[in-house]
Amino acid sequence: MTGAIGREEARRRVREAGGDALLERLEHLDATRAGRLSGKQGAQGGAARPPDGKARPDFDVVIAGGGLSLLLAPLLADRGLRVAVLDRARVGGAHREWNAGVAEVQALSSCGLFSAEEVERFVVARYREGFCRWHRGGTYPVRGVLDHAIDARALLEGARARAEAGGVTLLDGHTLSGHAEGREAVALAVEEGGARRTLVTRLLVDARGSTSPHATADLICPTVGGVMVGIEEGEGPLQIQPDVGEILVSTEGLVGGFQHLWEAFPGRPGETTVYLFYYAPSEDVGPGALVSLYARFFAQFGQYKAGEARLLRPTFGYIPGWSRLTPAPRAGGRRVRLVGDAAARHSPLTFCGFGSTVRGLSRTAEGLGRAVEDPEVREVACDAPVHAGAGALAALMARPPRRMGTEGMNALLDTAFAVLHAGGNEFYASLLRDEMSAADFVGFLRKTAALRPSVYREALGALGAGGIGRWGTGLLREYVRAG
C-alpha cells in the first residue's frame, strides 16, 4: 500500500472489502458532516408535533442509535421500563472494533449484562503491553491499557439477544427524522423505507453519535481503518507483535495542519485492527473527510507497517470530542438525553468512547431510569475529573500553533510521554485510563513544562488567554473537589 491514492480508488477499496452497504454508511457519515457544515442540519429536526397531554406513550424509553448504546437497553428493561431501540441500519451493527482494559471488561459482567463466561468469549486477544511512539522520538511502553481486544460483532449480537429476551423492541431500518416535546412525553417522527409514522415516548435517548444534531462538541476525530490481514510479524518498527498493542504512533510531522496518528491492535491470529486518525476543531473538518482520510490510509500504510497488507473489514467514524473549554453538548429539552459520542463525555485526549461507556453502564442506566420519572435529572453521562485538564491538551493537538513547525507536535508529545513513562507504569497508565488525579495531572504538566518551557507559549498560541483561564479554572475546581 504505497503511492498516491485518489478518492475514487479509496471508495473502490472500501466497497471491495466491506460491500455496498458499508460504503453507503461511510458516505452517509460524510454527507451528514457536509450538511452540518452548510447549516442544513437543524438542531431539533421537523415532521413531528408535540404530543398532547392525553397521548399514551408507546414506550418509556426510545434509544435512537443502535450501536454501542444498545448495551443500555436490556439494563433499562430490567428496571421494568418499556424500551425500544431504532437504527437506520440494523440495530447492533458494528462499524468499529474495540479494545479495553480489565476494568471495562469486568464491568460488562458486574453490571449484570452478561455472565463472566460470556464476557470471556468476547475477548479475542490479550497483550503483555502496549506502547506510544513519536516520529523522531522515543517509544514508551505501558502495561494495563487497552490490553484486551474485544469482538465487537459478538458483543453487540450478544447485547441484541439479551435485549430481545428482555422484551426490548428493536426497530431495524428506522430513521429518526425529528422530534417534538410535550410536557409528559416526546413525539418521534420515524421513517422506514419511505413510510412515516409517529412514536411517543416518555424519554428519548440520543445515541446517534456524530450524526446527531445535538453533537455540538468543539473537537472532532475523523477515524478510518479496519481489520487487516497480511501485516508482517516481528519486533521491528514496521512489524506487528501479536501480544503488543500500539496505542498512539506517528510516522510523520504535521500535514495540512493536522498530526496524523496510527494505532494497531492485534486480534484473532493473523488479524490486526489498524486506524489512522487526527484531532481537529469541528469547524475545520470539511465535507468528505472520511473518504479523503481513507485515501491517505491506503497511500501511507507502507510507512507504518510492512507486508502484503489487505483490508478485511472497514471500520470508521467521526468521533466527537469535547475540550471542556466550551459548553457541553446538550439536547436542550426536558425529555431528551445524550449518551455516547453524541454526549462526548469520553476522554478528550484518547477518545476511548468504548471504555467510558462500559465503565459507566450501571450509572448511566440508573440516571436514565430516574430521568424517565423526573425530567429534572439532567446529567446521565459520566465524566472523569482528569478530563478537565486533558481537554486542553486535545485542543492543543487539534490546532497546533504555526510557530511549532512541522515536527513541533511530535516533539511536544515525545516530551510529555517521556515524563509519563518516567513516572512509573501506574502514573503513565492512569492518564490513558482516565484515572489520573487532578494533583498528579498538574504535576505531569509542571514536569513537561520544565523540560519544554516553550509549551507555555505554544499553549497560549493555541488556546488564547480565555482558553488558558478556563483550563486553569476547571483544573482548580477538580483539585479542590478532590481535597
Phi, psi of 350 (to 5 degrees): -105, -10
- pLDDT at position 34 is 80
Report pLDDT digits (tens) over 453-482: 999 999 999 999 999 999 999 888 887 887
Spatial distance between the Cα atoms of 94 and 354, rounded to a whole number of angstroms: 12
Q: Helix, strand or coil for residue 128?
A: coil
Spatial distance between the Cα atoms of 281 and 221, rounded to a whole number of angstroms: 9
Distance between first and last Cα of the chain: 53
Closest CA to 226 of 1, 57, 425, 420: 1
Q: Helix, strand or coil for residue 6?
A: coil
Spatial distance between the Cα atoms of 318 and 280, rounded to a whole number of angstroms: 11
Element (H, E) at 74: helix 72-77
Report pLDDT digits (tens) over 414-429: 999 999 999 999 999 9
Backbone region of residue 289 per phi and psi (left: phi > 0; alpha: psi in -120 to 50; beta: other values): alpha
Report pLDDT digits (tens) over 66-92: 999 999 999 999 999 999 999 999 999
Rounded to an integer, the average pLDDT of 436-462 is 94
Q: What is the DSSP secondary structure assignment for residue 240, as one 8-state letter?
A: B
Looking at 3.50.50.60, 3.40.50.720, 2.40.160.10, 3.30.70.20, the CATH number of the domain 59-123+150-215+328-373 comes to 3.50.50.60
How many C-alpha atoms does 15 have within 13 Å on its Cβ side?
A: 9
Report pLDDT digits (tens) over 403-414: 899 999 999 999
Spatial distance between the Cα atoms of 266 and 229, rounded to a whole number of angstroms: 10
Q: Is the pLDDT of residue 3 over 70?
A: no
CA geometry: angle at 160 spanning 154 and 165, to 5°?
125
45: confidence class by pLDDT, cuts 50, 70, 90: very low
CB-based contact 373:330 (threshold 8 Å): no
Of 134-148, 158-172, 362-376, 383-397, the poorest mean pLDDT is in 383-397
For 363-397, b where at least 16 C-beta lie within 10 A, e where not — what string?
A: ebbbbbbebbeebeeeebbbbbbbbbbbbbbbbbb
Closest CA to 131 of 411, 418, 326: 418
Spatial distance between the Cα atoms of 231 and 482, rounded to a whole number of angstroms: 46
Element (H, E) at 227: strand 219-231
Element (H, E) at 480: helix 455-481
CB-based contact 192:174 (threshold 8 Å): yes
Give residue limits of the domains in the chain.
7-39+218-321, 59-123+150-215+328-373, 387-481
Top-ranked range on mean pLDDT: pick from 33-37, 176-180, 284-288, 384-388: 176-180
Phi, psi of 403 (to 5 degrees): -65, -15
For 126-145, b where at least 16 C-beta lie within 10 A, e where not — what string?
A: ebebbbbbbbebeebbbebb
CB-based contact 481:385 (threshold 8 Å): yes
